[in-house]
């Protein structure tokens, strides 16, 4: 069911008009009573009752709010004009806020794509864009948004690994922009039938579950150590090659294969060691 704008009358002129009508009806009752005219009195009573009944057609519409009108269960239209408005008193009126709203989902415990248990939470910014769909397509649109948002967060979390294992791989921790865009697309798909537009969706909390947090931390530390060692060894090998090449180029020292091997061993120990090496001065020969 799509939103259908409907016209409404300004409330303040209608209120003044109805007050005057009620006063006129009261005056007519007074005159009919004094003139002892039953017909005049009954007519004035009916007129006063009608004017009083029409007062119930007044209602207030605040800024960024819509009034959804229905007649005996049938949707009539939506009024978005601000201020005091008037429509048929038989119309039922349900107010719907069109303001931007946000909420943070609770910390959800889910499994990522690799099966590792993680904790994740997201902040969802949304607003109602179709009041008729929000009222009539779902039972409670606010509760619907909350439940579907948690379902979308769970589905999104299970589509990515927590950490990046390969170069260029999208993960929850390394690519927050792509993950947030995926979450927003899933929310739009789920909430569009409720007349809701998702303005922003982003992860607010992300961590391994407590039972595996220590093990995952050790794995991350091991990966970092391996990556650092790989770079150190690659750099050390490059420096050794450069040293040998410079020695051969300048002809400063002529080294046979055994001496080259000894020099390479010493240089790699010095360059790859975690602690500062202690030099030993050789006062004799190499042999």
Task: Evaluate if residue 283 carries a pLDDT over 60.
Answer: no
* Domain annotation covers residue 278: no
Within a domain: residue 277? no
Residue 212 pLDDT: 58
Residues 249, 253, 258, 264, Cα dihedral to 10° = -70
Q: Is 211 exposed, middle or buried (0-12, 13-18, 19+ CB in 10 A)?
A: exposed
Looking at the fold, whether 119 and 165 belong to one and the same domain comes out as yes
Mean pLDDT value across residues 177-193: 90
Please determine, for residue 24, whether its predicted confidence score (pLDDT) is greater than 70: yes
Other beta carbons within 10 Å of 52: 13
Examine the domain organization and report whether 185 and 245 are in the same domain: no
* Predicted local confidence at residue 163, as pLDDT: 79
Query: Domain range spanning residue 246?
Result: 213-272
Residue ending a domain, choose from 47, 71, 96: 96
- Cβ-in-10-Å burial (0-12, 13-18, 19+) of 68 comes to buried
Q: Which of 78, 96, 114 is the last residue of a domain?
A: 96
Do both 184 and 217 map to the same domain? no
Asked if residue 252 is part of any domain, the answer here is yes
Q: How far apart are CA 198 and CA 187, in angstroms?
A: 7
**How high is the pLDDT of residue 90?**
94
For residues 51 and 76, membership in a common domain is answered with yes
pLDDT digits (tens, 9 = 90+) for 138-178: 989 999 999 999 999 999 988 888 877 777 778 888 888 88
CATH number for the domain spanning 195: value is: 3.30.479.30
Residue 208 has pLDDT above 70, yes or no: yes
Single residue among 208, 223, 243 that ends a domain in this structure: 208
Look at residue 213 and tell me whether its pLDDT is greater than 90. no
Domains in the chain, number: 3
- Over residues 62-101, the pLDDT tens digits come to 999 999 999 998 999 999 999 999 999 999 999 999 999 9
pLDDT of residue 50: 93
Q: In the block, which residue shows the tokens 């993960």?
A: 171
Whether 179 maps to a domain, the answer reads yes
Same structural domain, 111 and 203: yes
Dihedral sign (CA 171, 172, 174, 178): positive
Lowest mean pLDDT among 17-31, 114-128, 207-221: 207-221
Question: Do the Cβ atoms of 190 and 180 come closer than 8 Å?
Answer: no
Cβ neighbors of 201 (< 8 A, separation 6 or more) are: 122, 123, 124, 125, 149, 180, 183, 184, 187
User: What is the structure's pLDDT at 268?
Assistant: 67
Residues 108 and 204 in one domain: yes
Whether 29 and 105 share a structural domain: no
Question: 126 pLDDT band (50/70/90 cuts)?
Answer: very high
**pLDDT for res 241:** 78
Q: Are residues 122 and 32 in the same domain?
A: no
- Burial 226-252, CB ≥16 within 10 A → b, else e: eeeeeeeeeebeeebeeeeeeeeeeee
Asked, for residue 61, whether it belongs to a domain, the answer is yes
CA distance between the termini of the chain: 95
Going by C-alpha positions, the residue among 167, 168, 172 that lies closest to residue 183 is 172
Note if the pTM is more than 0.75: no
């Amino acid at each position: 069911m799509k939103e259908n704008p409907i016209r409404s009358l300004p409330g303040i002129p209608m209120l003044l008009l109805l007050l005057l009508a009620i006063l006129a009806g009261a005056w007519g009752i007074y005159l009919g009573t004094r003139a002892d005219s039953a017909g005049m009195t009954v007519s004035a009573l009916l007129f006063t009752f009608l004017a009083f009944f029409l007062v119930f057609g007044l209602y207030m519409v605040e800024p960024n709010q819509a009034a959804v009108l229905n007649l005996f269960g049938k949707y009539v239209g939506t009024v978005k004009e601000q201020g005091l408005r008037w429509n048929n008193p038989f119309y039922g009126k349900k107010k719907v806020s069109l303001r931007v709203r946000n909420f943070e989902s609770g910390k959800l415990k889910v499994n990522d794509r690799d099966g590792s248990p993680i904790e994740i939470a997201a902040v969802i910014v949304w607003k109602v864009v179709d009041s008729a769909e929000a009222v009539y397509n779902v039972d409670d649109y606010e509760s619907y948004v909350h439940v579907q948002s948690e379902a979308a967060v769970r589905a999104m979390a299970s589509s990515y690994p927590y950490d990046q294992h390969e170069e260029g791989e999208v993960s929850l921790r390394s690519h927050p922009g792509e993950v947030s865009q995926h979450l927003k697309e899933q929310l739009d798909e789920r909430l569009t039938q409720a007349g809701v537009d998702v303005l922003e969706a982003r992860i607010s909390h992300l961590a391994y579950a407590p039972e595996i947090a220590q093990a995952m931390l050790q794995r991350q530390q091991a990966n970092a150590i391996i990556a650092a060692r790989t770079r150190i060894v690659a750099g050390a090998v490059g420096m050794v090659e450069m040293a040998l090449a410079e020695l051969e180029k300048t002809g400063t020292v002529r080294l046979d294969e055994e001496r080259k091997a000894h020099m390479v061993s010493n240089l790699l120990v010095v360059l790859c060691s975690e602690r500062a090496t202690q030099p030993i001065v050789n006062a004799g020969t190499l042999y």
